[in-house]
Amino acid sequence: MKVVLLAGGLGSRIAEETIVRPKPMVEIGHRPILWHIMQHYSHFGHREFIVCLGYKGEQIKRYFADSLALGADVTIDFATNSVEVLDTPRDDWRVTLVDTGQWTQTAGRLSRVQSLVGDEPFLMTYGDGVSDVDLDALLEFHRGTGRLATITAVRPPARFGKLTVNDGQVTHFDEKPQMSEGWINGGFFVLEPAVFDFIPGDVDFAREPLESLADAGELSGFCHDGFWQCMDTARDRDLLNSLWDSGHPPWKMWNS
């Protein structure tokens, strides 16, 4: 299935990074978080990506162009101004990079790639969050509902550390646990083409389209109790890097 990645936002809450690069290019373990997300989808067999660009989108284009050139043997013919790739890069992806405008909102970005999505169901997520969600189970759930859209519901991370105190002694400390109650939008959508009929214009996908789909009884929620973490702040970035450096990042499902 095709995968639409929303990668055009300003990322203002992590401005120390995004002043020089788009948020999806902020690195976790010396790789852009966008790469981690794409590896996740690729692990489940989804290798055709449509990336909606906006703020500093040229850097994302340059990253993929450089990955092709630097990740394979090439012959450069100066006479014909051509570059021939002699072998196949390890990641067998097809990546379409679309400039959807710097100030466009998320539903507007999706609308601008409608012709590329076509008439088949597709997957969509944001370019700033990682998870160990089982995409096969998500798809099976979506197909079983018969509805137009499925959203992955996740447990939000706690803002502060959690203490367990007994008789004045701290018996357990968890720096940033997942909450055990409540659900939030974790991205990782499955969408039918008719979802475009619910987009009234350049709006936030998490508002009007999802609210209208819910009101129409066309929105399902796939509850994921496992790992999920967005990268909104420098603290989130540091947390993800520490998890990667541990050697056992919970979102890494692929072998490499």
Residue 97 covered by a domain: yes
Indicate whether 15 pLDDT > 90: no
| Phi, psi of 202, rounded to the nearest 5 degrees | -85, 85
Ramachandran sector of residue 201 (left: φ over 0; alpha: ψ -120 to 50; beta: rest): left
**Do 7 and 24 touch, CB atoms closer than 8 A?**
yes
pLDDT at 196 (0 to 100): 97
Least confident of 42-51, 67-76, 204-213: 67-76
Tokens for 95? 């990546």
pLDDT at 164 (0 to 100): 67
Indicate whether 256 pLDDT > 80: no
pLDDT at 79 (0 to 100): 93
Residue 80 covered by a domain: yes
Residue 250 covered by a domain: no
Residue 252 covered by a domain: no
**Do 75 and 83 touch, CB atoms closer than 8 A?**
yes
Cβ within 8 Å of residue 30, ≥6 positions away: none
How many domains is the chain built from?
Answer: 1
pLDDT at 125 (0 to 100): 98
d(CA 195, CA 180): 31
CA distances from 120 to 2, 25, 115, 202 (A): 9, 29, 11, 22
Q: What is the mean pLDDT of residues 24-43?
A: 97
pLDDT at 163 (0 to 100): 63
- CA atoms in the 13 A half-sphere facing the CB of 98: 20
Domain of residue 108, residue span: 2-245
Tokens for 31? 């790789």
Band (pLDDT 50/70/90 cuts) for residue 151 is very high
Tell me the CATH number at 109: 3.90.550.10
The residue ranking higher by pLDDT, 167 or 53, is: 53
Band (pLDDT 50/70/90 cuts) for residue 171 is low
**What type of residue is 244?**
W
pLDDT at 13 (0 to 100): 83
Q: Is the dihedral of CA 14, 16, 21, 27 positive or negative?
A: negative
DSSP code of 213?
A: H
Residue 256 covered by a domain: no
Among 64-73, 82-91, 233-242, the range of highest mean pLDDT: 233-242
Mean residue pLDDT of the chain comes to: 90
**Do 126 and 114 touch, CB atoms closer than 8 A?**
no
pLDDT at 82 (0 to 100): 86
Residue 255 covered by a domain: no
d(CA 191, CA 217): 14
